[in-house]
Structure 1
């Protein structure tokens, strides 16, 4: 049984191991002792019951309850860009036309932007390769929507998600090679690592003027808004829930930024409260069929699982004992549920 729960101090070793698997371009969780320790420290502070920091980092891990192994991580930043600048490129269009010469050209441009300052961000989604099966990735990602729905006062009206941009099988980003390298004189992996620690140097080194994309190499142009192969399933999942690419990209690898109003997300909008009936494994028929996300209403001890349920009337669901144990709930506990499938509504 997989359960998503808030990260704890003793998860450091497991998180450090996950960080070794992420690879180049995964800015929010890198193979770096200092970054991993800092993230756990920030998350523990955010989950203090009396804490409501403007830039809280809520980190969750996916745990296999049978073994206690941590196999994945995901997070939500309450707000970005408040204490240090939040940069990306806005993709625009300029028209160059001449009636006399019968010329009409539409040219794409890149302009440095801080437009998403203050937005909440879905971040740090990573699942160990050996656990990428049985809808585990969907549970890990969508569990955050249940937390957003339960504690809306902790988040912005708008939500973003930066998707990892395209790089080849050697970890080379054509967008970086065609643009960023000219101003930073660094390899992509090195610049990406530095950006996760300190974003000030971006403003110091990147060009301030508008960039015409037709001056970039062809492969760099083609990488604009393109998602890394390993991240494409995550992008499709978020788009199915209501997030959209609106023309903002990462300054380093050209990956797309998805945006949505938080309340417009399908899982946030459609989830509802029910009472839990914990089913007897020996005397009651166990539920089958469609999976639901089921989450608790507690803050510091928030938990989320996916399971088939028996819906009794409009206010009660039957849950297998193993699910109740994973959620740490008992008979009659109020839980939040929503259909797992993005196309389903109650």
Structure 2
């Protein structure tokens, strides 16, 4: 396999910026702003630079690189403990049931309540794959590499993990959900608010967002239809999350109404089922393709490789071993490809 996941470094700013310009908006964790991306890389470097085992507010940025050409074609991020410096807001979908004896009727109203229920969780996000590479399982490699990284550094991550999926965005780059709800209070369009949030954080939401529940019946038809719906390009990502054990539990993004998926960290399939073993030989015999990771922190690498069982450990194919930078005597974590 010619692609490998590695830790981001300062030289990746240009790659991140070029990818950010391709997202099409609504991608808060990858804003097309050089200063914001530089801050992310600096924060990530600090996280990769120490081997502390405590749970603090950190960010790890990973990159997908073609080892033959050196081209960077994707990225993903891990937030260890959200909501520590600024509130982590979501809308929770709920129902209020009321009964009228005089009318002999029961009324059920769907409501959106502003909440910080998910504060303190870890988050996997910022996953972007270059449009020219959306084949061959590279999206799956990006997504699952994060879980092998969490498994390797489990004490630095919370007991609950979330993933926010981008919501419905129209052809003009607007959000029906934003236009039908928050936009009425903020006096700005979705793109402007999303860019402001990506660069400056959520505090303006705390300052201006109404704190009382919102009856969805009062929203426009377009806004209601967008509640909990992923962007068409995010449906595959939603299926991947569901395969890992994530579920939609009625939390949505406050900007575009996209679904927030959650799971108990130790129940993530890749974390739960991955195995560890020592590489005993480089061999092609009896090998099956798997997701393989090695090393720690800034030397972390993850790639598809052909792995086989052997007395006292596993074998790796030559190309996979080269991509990972390992040989006999090194330890790897691995899980079969799904």
Structure 1 length normalisation: TM-score?
Answer: 0.93
Deviation at 1:53, TM superposition (A): 7.0
Identify the residue that residue 64 of structure 1 maps to in structure 2. Answer: 66
Deviation at 1:198, TM superposition (A): 2.4
Does 2:315 match 1:321? no
Structure 2 length normalisation: TM-score?
Answer: 0.95
Match of 2:308 among 310, 314, 317: 310
Identify the residue that residue 220 of structure 2 maps to in structure 1. Answer: 217
Counterparts of 1:105-254 in structure 2 under 5 Å?
Answer: 105-196=107-198, 197-254=200-257
Identify the residue that residue 260 of structure 1 maps to in structure 2. Answer: 263
Deviation at 1:278, TM superposition (A): 4.1
Identify the residue that residue 335 of structure 1 maps to in structure 2. Answer: 332
**Contact 1:82–1:117, Cα closer than 8 Å, also in 2:** yes
CA distance in 2, matches of 1:338, 1:286: 16
Match of 1:270 among 254, 269, 273: 273
Give the total of aligned pairs: 335
Instruction: Name stretches of at least 5 consecutive residues in structure 1 with no aligned partner.
Output: 342-346
CA distance in 1, matches of 2:321, 2:280: 9
**Contact 1:297–1:336, Cα closer than 8 Å, also in 2:** no
Identify the residue that residue 299 of structure 2 maps to in structure 1. Answer: 301
CA distance in 2, matches of 1:50, 1:337: 22
- Post-superposition CA distance 1:181-209 (Å, at most 9, x none): 10011110000111122211101111111
Query: Residue 49 and residue 198 in structure 1: after superposition, are their counterparts in 2 closer, same or farther (change >3 A)?
Result: closer
RMSD of aligned Cα (Å): 1.5
Query: What secondary structure sits across from 1:300 in the alignment?
Result: helix
Query: Residue 309 and residue 21 in structure 1: after superposition, are their counterparts in 2 closer, same or farther (change >3 A)?
Result: same
Query: What secondary structure sits across from 1:309 in the alignment?
Result: strand
